[in-house]
């Protein structure tokens, strides 16, 4: 009977090498659909949240100071991790919760998220309705930026975001509806935005930007079923979408109408009124 052959050292190395390659290939295949780990940054993020965070979250500026990295690098890293699914930003996987700014200088819309300003084109937001943005002046900041500064996406240049000058109505494509900066604007209802100018409220057409109801009211409620509660010097009452008074204007307070009725307040207190009984 022949003796079993002893494997050579070279053969053993080749066999181990083949096993290693097969193992790595199998691991890559198994982890192909898993999010990337970014372990070093995750470790720093966890430590920073434990030390300085609240409810499992932390400001990006605090994170930058904690891990001793510049804000642009930290924010870019977090954006990559958010895209991979490793971390979730303030708006989930997007910018839904960020503040919307309209730069009166460049006429561009930006969404603020985690210390960065993202242009409307970059966001690629899907909307078919006009929306409201804060009108501000965005200008380059002198000197080197710091962890508390704001940056425009894809640049290392810090910017100053000025005080809010008012509200502006923006169309779905990111352009201003009428270019007017109002003192305040509320969400559109029945195709009309309630807007405030010179201390008084009126209504603006959400499609054309034209004034639909004059700016003569002390306060207004949104339109519902063609009627809006408005406040004049004599009290509250109701108007139609053309601004014509439909009831007396002497209620102490009034809520939005529905089905020809509304909650109104008189000297006797609150009650539901049939508006046809209170014709102007």
Q: pLDDT for 41-74, tens place per residue? A: 556 666 666 666 655 566 655 655 555 555 555 5
Q: pLDDT value at position 92?
A: 37
Looking at residue 84, its pLDDT comes to: 45
pLDDT at 154: 72
State the pTM of this model: 0.64
Q: What is the pLDDT of residue 36?
A: 45
Helices (H), 97-233: 120-123
Helix (H) or strand (E) run with residue 254 in it: strand 253-254
pLDDT at 114: 73
pLDDT of residue 155: 75
Q: State residue 149's pLDDT score.
A: 84
Copy the structure tokens of residue 201.
Answer: 């409220």
Which pLDDT belongs to residue 280?
A: 82
Q: pLDDT, tens digit, for every residue of 199-241?
A: 999 999 999 999 999 999 999 999 999 999 999 999 999 999 9
What integer pLDDT is reported at residue 143 of this predicted model? 75
Say what the pLDDT of residue 22 is. Answer: 62
**Which one-letter DSSP state was computed for residue 30?**
H
Which stretches of the chain are DSSP H helices? 9-30, 39-52, 60-67, 71-84, 120-123
Please, which residues bridge with residue 152 across strands?
117
User: SS3 for 248?
Assistant: coil
| Distances from the Cα of 157 to the Cα of 10, 103, 113, 151, 235, angstroms | 57, 16, 16, 6, 52
| Spans of the chain, pLDDT less than 70 | 1-98, 124-127
Who's near 19: CB < 8 A, 6+ residues apart? none
* Residues 43, 45: Cα–Cα separation, whole Å: 5
| Distance in angstroms (rounded) separating the CA atoms of residues 70 and 169 | 35
């Amino acid at each position: 009977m022949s003796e079993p052959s002893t494997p050579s050292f070279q053969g053993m190395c080749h066999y181990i090498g083949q096993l290693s390659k097969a193992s790595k290939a199998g691991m890559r295949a198994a982890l192909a659909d898993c999010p990337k780990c970014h372990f070093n940054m995750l470790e720093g993020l966890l430590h920073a949240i434990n030390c300085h965070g609240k409810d499992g979250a932390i400001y990006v500026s605090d994170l930058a100071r904690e891990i001793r990295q510049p804000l642009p690098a930290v924010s870019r890293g977090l954006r990559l991790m958010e895209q991979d699914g490793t971390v979730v930003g303030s708006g989930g996987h997007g910018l839904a919760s960020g503040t919307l700014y309209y730069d009166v200088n460049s006429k561009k819309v930006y969404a603020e998220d985690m210390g960065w300003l993202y242009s409307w084109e970059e966001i690629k937001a899907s909307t078919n309705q006009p929306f409201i943005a804060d009108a501000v002046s965005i200008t380059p900041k002198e000197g080197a930026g710091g962890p508390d500064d704001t940056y425009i996406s894809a640049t290392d240049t810090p910017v100053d975001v000025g005080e809010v000058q008012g509200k502006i109505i923006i169309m779905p494509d990111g352009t201003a509806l009428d270019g007017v900066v109002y003192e305040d604007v509320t969400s559109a209802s029945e195709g009309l935005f309630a807007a405030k100018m010179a201390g008084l409220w009126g209504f603006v057409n959400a499609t054309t930007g034209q004034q639909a109801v004059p700016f003569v009211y002390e306060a207004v409620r949104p339109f519902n079923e063609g009627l809006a509660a408005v406040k004049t010097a004599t009290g509250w009452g109701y108007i139609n979408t053309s601004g014509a008074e439909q009831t007396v204007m002497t209620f102490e307070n009034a809520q939005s109408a529905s089905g020809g009725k509304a909650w109104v307040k008189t000297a006797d207190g609150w009650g539901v009124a049939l508006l046809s009984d209170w014709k102007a």
